[in-house]
Amino acid sequence: MSTALSTICALSMALNQRADELVPVDHNKTPRPHMGSTLTDECARWMNGTLGTFHNNDRKGIRFNMRGFTSQYGQDRTLWDRLFKNSTGPEFYYADVAANHYKHLSNTYFFDRCLGWSGVCVEPNPVYWAELRSKRSCHVVPHCVSNTTDEVNFRMGDNKFGVFGSIEGSGPFVNLWKESRPIERLRCIRTQSAFDEVHDMSHVHLMSLDVEGHEAAVLDGIDFGRMRIDAILCESGCTRVLPRLGYVKTKHIIKDEWLWEKRDTL
Protein backbone atom coordinates (compact mmCIF):
# COMPACT_ATOMS: atom_id res chain seq x y z
CA MET A 1 0.00 0.00 0.00
CA SER A 2 1.43 3.40 -0.95
CA THR A 3 2.37 6.06 1.61
CA ALA A 4 -0.41 8.34 0.33
CA LEU A 5 -3.01 5.58 0.59
CA SER A 6 -1.87 4.61 4.10
CA THR A 7 -2.29 8.22 5.16
CA ILE A 8 -5.80 8.29 3.73
CA CYS A 9 -6.81 5.21 5.68
CA ALA A 10 -5.40 6.71 8.87
CA LEU A 11 -7.27 9.95 8.32
CA SER A 12 -10.53 8.17 7.63
CA MET A 13 -10.24 5.83 10.62
CA ALA A 14 -9.67 8.86 12.77
CA LEU A 15 -13.10 9.99 11.62
CA ASN A 16 -14.53 6.65 12.90
CA GLN A 17 -15.36 5.42 9.43
CA ARG A 18 -15.01 1.82 8.30
CA ALA A 19 -11.80 0.92 6.47
CA ASP A 20 -12.43 -1.69 3.78
CA GLU A 21 -9.77 -3.84 2.16
CA LEU A 22 -8.65 -2.54 -1.22
CA VAL A 23 -9.75 -4.41 -4.32
CA PRO A 24 -6.85 -5.33 -6.65
CA VAL A 25 -6.72 -3.31 -9.85
CA ASP A 26 -7.60 -5.10 -13.09
CA HIS A 27 -6.41 -2.70 -15.78
CA ASN A 28 -8.30 -4.66 -18.44
CA LYS A 29 -11.63 -3.68 -16.94
CA THR A 30 -13.44 -0.35 -16.96
CA PRO A 31 -13.92 1.15 -13.46
CA ARG A 32 -17.37 0.27 -12.19
CA PRO A 33 -19.99 3.06 -11.92
CA HIS A 34 -19.99 4.98 -8.69
CA MET A 35 -22.11 3.33 -6.02
CA GLY A 36 -22.79 4.18 -2.39
CA SER A 37 -19.74 3.52 -0.20
CA THR A 38 -17.91 4.65 2.89
CA LEU A 39 -15.45 7.52 2.61
CA THR A 40 -12.48 5.16 3.03
CA ASP A 41 -13.76 2.78 0.37
CA GLU A 42 -14.60 5.62 -1.99
CA CYS A 43 -11.18 7.27 -1.74
CA ALA A 44 -9.26 3.99 -1.94
CA ARG A 45 -11.15 2.76 -4.99
CA TRP A 46 -10.71 6.09 -6.77
CA MET A 47 -6.98 5.80 -6.17
CA ASN A 48 -6.65 2.22 -7.35
CA GLY A 49 -8.85 2.80 -10.39
CA THR A 50 -11.77 0.52 -9.49
CA LEU A 51 -14.36 3.25 -8.87
CA GLY A 52 -15.89 5.55 -11.47
CA THR A 53 -16.90 9.19 -11.18
CA PHE A 54 -19.32 10.25 -8.47
CA HIS A 55 -22.74 11.23 -9.79
CA ASN A 56 -25.34 13.01 -7.71
CA ASN A 57 -28.59 11.15 -8.32
CA ASP A 58 -30.54 14.16 -7.05
CA ARG A 59 -29.52 15.99 -10.23
CA LYS A 60 -31.07 13.71 -12.80
CA GLY A 61 -32.09 16.68 -14.93
CA ILE A 62 -28.45 17.63 -15.61
CA ARG A 63 -26.10 15.49 -17.68
CA PHE A 64 -22.40 16.28 -17.69
CA ASN A 65 -19.45 14.46 -19.23
CA MET A 66 -17.74 13.77 -15.92
CA ARG A 67 -14.30 12.13 -16.04
CA GLY A 68 -12.79 12.79 -12.64
CA PHE A 69 -13.36 11.58 -9.10
CA THR A 70 -16.02 14.24 -8.62
CA SER A 71 -14.94 16.94 -11.08
CA GLN A 72 -16.59 17.55 -14.43
CA TYR A 73 -13.66 17.07 -16.79
CA GLY A 74 -11.15 15.09 -14.76
CA GLN A 75 -9.51 18.10 -13.14
CA ASP A 76 -9.08 16.43 -9.74
CA ARG A 77 -7.75 13.19 -11.23
CA THR A 78 -5.32 15.12 -13.46
CA LEU A 79 -4.02 17.20 -10.56
CA TRP A 80 -3.57 14.18 -8.31
CA ASP A 81 -1.73 12.23 -11.01
CA ARG A 82 0.38 15.18 -12.11
CA LEU A 83 1.23 17.05 -8.94
CA PHE A 84 -0.18 15.80 -5.66
CA LYS A 85 0.07 12.00 -5.31
CA ASN A 86 2.32 12.34 -2.26
CA SER A 87 0.64 15.44 -0.82
CA THR A 88 -1.56 14.47 2.12
CA GLY A 89 -2.47 16.14 5.37
CA PRO A 90 -3.74 19.47 6.72
CA GLU A 91 -0.49 21.30 5.96
CA PHE A 92 -1.63 21.42 2.32
CA TYR A 93 -4.18 24.09 1.37
CA TYR A 94 -6.69 24.59 -1.41
CA ALA A 95 -8.90 27.55 -2.31
CA ASP A 96 -12.17 26.94 -4.16
CA VAL A 97 -13.74 30.01 -5.79
CA ALA A 98 -16.65 29.47 -6.18
CA ALA A 99 -17.24 26.16 -4.41
CA ASN A 100 -20.87 25.48 -5.41
CA HIS A 101 -22.13 22.00 -4.35
CA TYR A 102 -19.96 20.33 -1.71
CA LYS A 103 -19.31 17.30 -3.96
CA HIS A 104 -21.09 17.26 -7.32
CA LEU A 105 -18.75 18.65 -10.02
CA SER A 106 -16.30 19.72 -7.31
CA ASN A 107 -12.61 20.10 -8.22
CA THR A 108 -11.58 20.09 -4.54
CA TYR A 109 -13.72 17.46 -2.75
CA PHE A 110 -11.06 14.77 -3.30
CA PHE A 111 -8.30 16.93 -1.82
CA ASP A 112 -10.44 17.80 1.18
CA ARG A 113 -12.00 14.46 2.10
CA CYS A 114 -9.52 11.96 0.63
CA LEU A 115 -6.18 13.74 1.05
CA GLY A 116 -7.09 15.60 4.25
CA TRP A 117 -6.16 19.07 3.01
CA SER A 118 -7.20 22.31 4.69
CA GLY A 119 -8.96 24.92 2.61
CA VAL A 120 -11.28 27.82 2.01
CA CYS A 121 -14.57 27.50 0.11
CA VAL A 122 -15.83 30.81 -1.25
CA GLU A 123 -19.53 30.57 -2.10
CA PRO A 124 -22.06 33.44 -2.15
CA ASN A 125 -25.10 31.21 -2.78
CA PRO A 126 -26.80 30.29 0.54
CA VAL A 127 -28.31 27.06 -0.81
CA TYR A 128 -24.83 25.48 -0.54
CA TRP A 129 -23.66 26.75 2.84
CA ALA A 130 -25.14 24.07 5.11
CA GLU A 131 -23.63 21.11 3.26
CA LEU A 132 -20.29 22.82 2.71
CA ARG A 133 -20.10 23.36 6.47
CA SER A 134 -21.31 19.91 7.48
CA LYS A 135 -19.74 17.72 4.77
CA ARG A 136 -16.47 19.50 4.05
CA SER A 137 -13.65 20.64 6.32
CA CYS A 138 -13.07 23.97 4.54
CA HIS A 139 -13.66 27.38 6.03
CA VAL A 140 -16.73 28.73 4.22
CA VAL A 141 -16.69 32.37 3.10
CA PRO A 142 -20.33 33.30 2.31
CA HIS A 143 -19.54 36.21 0.00
CA CYS A 144 -18.70 36.97 -3.59
CA VAL A 145 -15.06 38.01 -4.02
CA SER A 146 -13.48 40.51 -6.37
CA ASN A 147 -10.86 43.26 -6.57
CA THR A 148 -13.27 45.80 -5.03
CA THR A 149 -15.93 45.90 -2.33
CA ASP A 150 -18.59 47.27 -4.68
CA GLU A 151 -22.14 46.00 -4.81
CA VAL A 152 -22.91 43.76 -7.78
CA ASN A 153 -25.92 42.14 -9.41
CA PHE A 154 -25.58 38.41 -8.78
CA ARG A 155 -27.67 35.88 -10.69
CA MET A 156 -28.44 33.38 -7.95
CA GLY A 157 -28.76 29.75 -9.04
CA ASP A 158 -30.88 27.27 -7.12
CA ASN A 159 -29.65 23.97 -5.65
CA LYS A 160 -30.16 22.22 -8.98
CA PHE A 161 -28.81 24.79 -11.41
CA GLY A 162 -26.58 26.86 -9.12
CA VAL A 163 -23.66 25.96 -11.35
CA PHE A 164 -24.85 28.74 -13.64
CA GLY A 165 -24.83 31.49 -10.98
CA SER A 166 -22.65 34.49 -11.75
CA ILE A 167 -22.01 38.20 -11.35
CA GLU A 168 -24.02 39.95 -14.03
CA GLY A 169 -21.94 41.50 -16.79
CA SER A 170 -18.77 39.55 -15.92
CA GLY A 171 -18.17 38.13 -19.36
CA PRO A 172 -19.55 37.27 -22.77
CA PHE A 173 -20.98 33.90 -21.71
CA VAL A 174 -24.76 34.00 -22.02
CA ASN A 175 -26.90 31.07 -21.02
CA LEU A 176 -30.66 30.71 -20.83
CA TRP A 177 -30.32 29.02 -17.45
CA LYS A 178 -28.45 32.05 -16.14
CA GLU A 179 -30.95 34.50 -17.55
CA SER A 180 -33.79 32.64 -15.82
CA ARG A 181 -32.17 32.90 -12.37
CA PRO A 182 -33.22 35.66 -9.93
CA ILE A 183 -30.93 38.65 -9.40
CA GLU A 184 -29.79 39.75 -5.94
CA ARG A 185 -27.66 42.72 -4.90
CA LEU A 186 -24.54 41.55 -3.10
CA ARG A 187 -21.53 43.39 -1.72
CA CYS A 188 -18.33 41.54 -2.54
CA ILE A 189 -15.19 41.42 -0.42
CA ARG A 190 -11.65 41.44 -1.73
CA THR A 191 -10.33 37.96 -2.48
CA GLN A 192 -7.41 38.47 -0.13
CA SER A 193 -9.81 39.26 2.72
CA ALA A 194 -11.47 35.88 2.17
CA PHE A 195 -8.11 34.11 2.29
CA ASP A 196 -7.09 36.03 5.42
CA GLU A 197 -10.01 34.44 7.28
CA VAL A 198 -8.04 31.18 7.31
CA HIS A 199 -5.35 31.48 9.96
CA ASP A 200 -1.79 30.94 8.71
CA MET A 201 -2.87 30.30 5.10
CA SER A 202 -0.09 32.07 3.21
CA HIS A 203 0.66 29.19 0.85
CA VAL A 204 -2.12 27.71 -1.30
CA HIS A 205 -1.09 24.58 -3.17
CA LEU A 206 -4.15 24.52 -5.42
CA MET A 207 -6.70 27.17 -6.37
CA SER A 208 -9.81 26.23 -8.34
CA LEU A 209 -11.24 29.33 -9.99
CA ASP A 210 -14.51 29.19 -11.91
CA VAL A 211 -16.73 32.27 -11.61
CA GLU A 212 -18.21 32.53 -15.11
CA GLY A 213 -16.18 35.42 -16.50
CA HIS A 214 -15.17 37.23 -13.28
CA GLU A 215 -11.86 35.36 -12.91
CA ALA A 216 -9.52 38.28 -13.68
CA ALA A 217 -11.14 40.49 -11.03
CA VAL A 218 -10.89 37.67 -8.47
CA LEU A 219 -7.17 37.28 -9.19
CA ASP A 220 -6.63 41.05 -9.03
CA GLY A 221 -8.09 40.93 -5.52
CA ILE A 222 -5.26 38.69 -4.27
CA ASP A 223 -2.11 40.15 -2.71
CA PHE A 224 0.44 37.89 -4.39
CA GLY A 225 3.15 39.57 -2.35
CA ARG A 226 1.71 37.85 0.74
CA MET A 227 0.06 34.82 -0.85
CA ARG A 228 1.86 32.06 -2.72
CA ILE A 229 -0.29 29.89 -4.99
CA ASP A 230 1.42 26.97 -6.75
CA ALA A 231 -1.25 25.78 -9.19
CA ILE A 232 -4.41 27.48 -10.47
CA LEU A 233 -7.26 25.91 -12.41
CA CYS A 234 -8.84 28.75 -14.35
CA GLU A 235 -11.75 28.64 -16.76
CA SER A 236 -11.38 32.02 -18.48
CA GLY A 237 -9.83 35.48 -18.23
CA CYS A 238 -6.63 34.39 -16.50
CA THR A 239 -4.39 35.24 -19.45
CA ARG A 240 -4.93 38.91 -18.56
CA VAL A 241 -3.37 38.42 -15.11
CA LEU A 242 -1.33 35.27 -14.56
CA PRO A 243 1.56 35.58 -17.09
CA ARG A 244 2.78 38.83 -15.52
CA LEU A 245 2.77 37.07 -12.13
CA GLY A 246 5.08 34.30 -13.34
CA TYR A 247 2.54 31.60 -14.21
CA VAL A 248 2.55 29.45 -17.33
CA LYS A 249 -0.06 27.18 -18.90
CA THR A 250 0.96 23.57 -18.31
CA LYS A 251 -2.14 21.49 -19.05
CA HIS A 252 -5.18 22.13 -21.23
CA ILE A 253 -8.38 20.89 -19.58
CA ILE A 254 -11.16 21.81 -22.01
CA LYS A 255 -12.13 24.83 -24.12
CA ASP A 256 -10.79 27.90 -22.24
CA GLU A 257 -9.87 26.06 -19.04
CA TRP A 258 -6.20 25.54 -18.25
CA LEU A 259 -3.97 24.48 -15.41
CA TRP A 260 -1.51 27.25 -14.63
CA GLU A 261 1.63 26.67 -12.56
CA LYS A 262 4.12 29.04 -11.00
CA ARG A 263 7.37 28.90 -13.00
CA ASP A 264 9.60 28.31 -9.98
CA THR A 265 7.61 25.17 -9.04
CA LEU A 266 8.11 23.47 -12.40
Asked, for residue 57, whether it belongs to a domain, the answer is no
Provide the pLDDT confidence category of residue 180 given band limits of 50, 70 and 90.
low
Does residue 62 belong to any structural domain of this protein? no
Please check whether residues 110 and 14 belong to one and the same domain.
no
- Band (pLDDT 50/70/90 cuts) for residue 55 is confident
Residue 114 inside a domain? The answer is yes
Q: Please state the pTM of the whole predicted model.
A: 0.81
pLDDT of residue 63: 47
Distance CA 260, CA 239 (A): 10
Q: How far is it, in rounded angstroms, from Cα 120 to Cα 220?
A: 18
Looking at the DSSP bridge assignments, the partners of residue 79 are: none
Query: 99 and 37 in one domain?
Result: no
Residues 22 and 131 in one domain: no
**160 pLDDT higher than 80:** no
Give yes or no: residues 152 and 203 share one domain.
yes
Separation between Cα atoms, residue 14 and residue 59, nearest integer Å: 31
Give the pLDDT of residue 34: 54
Q: Is residue 12 part of a domain?
A: yes
Q: Are residues 181 and 258 in the same domain?
A: yes
pLDDT classification of 200: cutoffs 50, 70, 90: confident
CATH number, domain of 177, equals 3.40.50
Same domain, residue pair 179 and 248: yes
Domain contains 216: yes
Residue 46 and residue 140 in one domain = no
User: Are 225 and 141 members of one domain?
Assistant: yes
The answer to whether position 94 is within a domain reads: yes
Which of 164-173, 184-193, 219-228, 241-250 has the least mean pLDDT? Answer: 164-173
The pLDDT of residue 157 is 65
Per the domain annotation, does 197 fall within a domain?
Answer: yes
- 30 and 115 part of one domain: no
- Residues comprising the chain, all counted: 266
Q: Per-residue pLDDT for 187 more than 50?
A: yes
Paired strand residues for 118:
93
Q: 53, 70 in Cβ contact below 8 A?
A: yes
- Give yes or no for residue 193 having a pLDDT over 70: yes
Which of 53 and 220 is assigned the larger pLDDT? 220
Comparison of pLDDT for 27 and 69, the residue scoring more: 69
pLDDT in tens, 87-136: 999 999 999 999 999 998 999 999 999 999 999 999 999 999 999 999 99
Instruction: State the residue range of the domain holding 232.
Output: 71-265
The DSSP-derived string for the chain is --HHHHHHHHHHHHTT---PPPPPP-TTSPPBPP----HHHHHHHHHHT-B-----GGGTT------SSSSSSSHHHHHIIIIITT--STTSEEEEET--SSSTT-SSHIIIIIT--EEEEE---GGGHHHHHHH--SEEE-S-EESS--EEEEE---TTTGGG-EETTSSS---HHHHTSPEEEEE-EEHHHHHHTSTT--EEEEEEE--TT-HHHHHHTS-TTT-EEEEEEESSSGGGTSGGGTEEEEEEEETTEEEEEEGGG-
Nearest to 265 by CA among 113, 101, 84: 84
User: In terms of domains, do 15 and 46 share one?
Assistant: yes
- Determine, yes or no, domain membership for 244: yes
The per-residue pLDDT of the chain, averaged, comes to 81
Gap between the Cα atoms of 9 and 22, Å rounded: 11
Query: How far apart (Å, rounded) are the C-alpha atoms in residues 187 and 35?
Result: 40
How far apart are alpha carbons 144 and 194 in whole angstroms?
9
**Count of structural domains, the chain:** 2
Query: Is residue 21 domain-shared with residue 113, that is, in the same domain?
Result: no
Are 107 and 176 within one domain? yes
* pLDDT-derived band at 181, boundaries 50, 70, 90: low
CA distances from 63 to 56, 72, 169, 205, 263 (A): 10, 10, 26, 30, 36
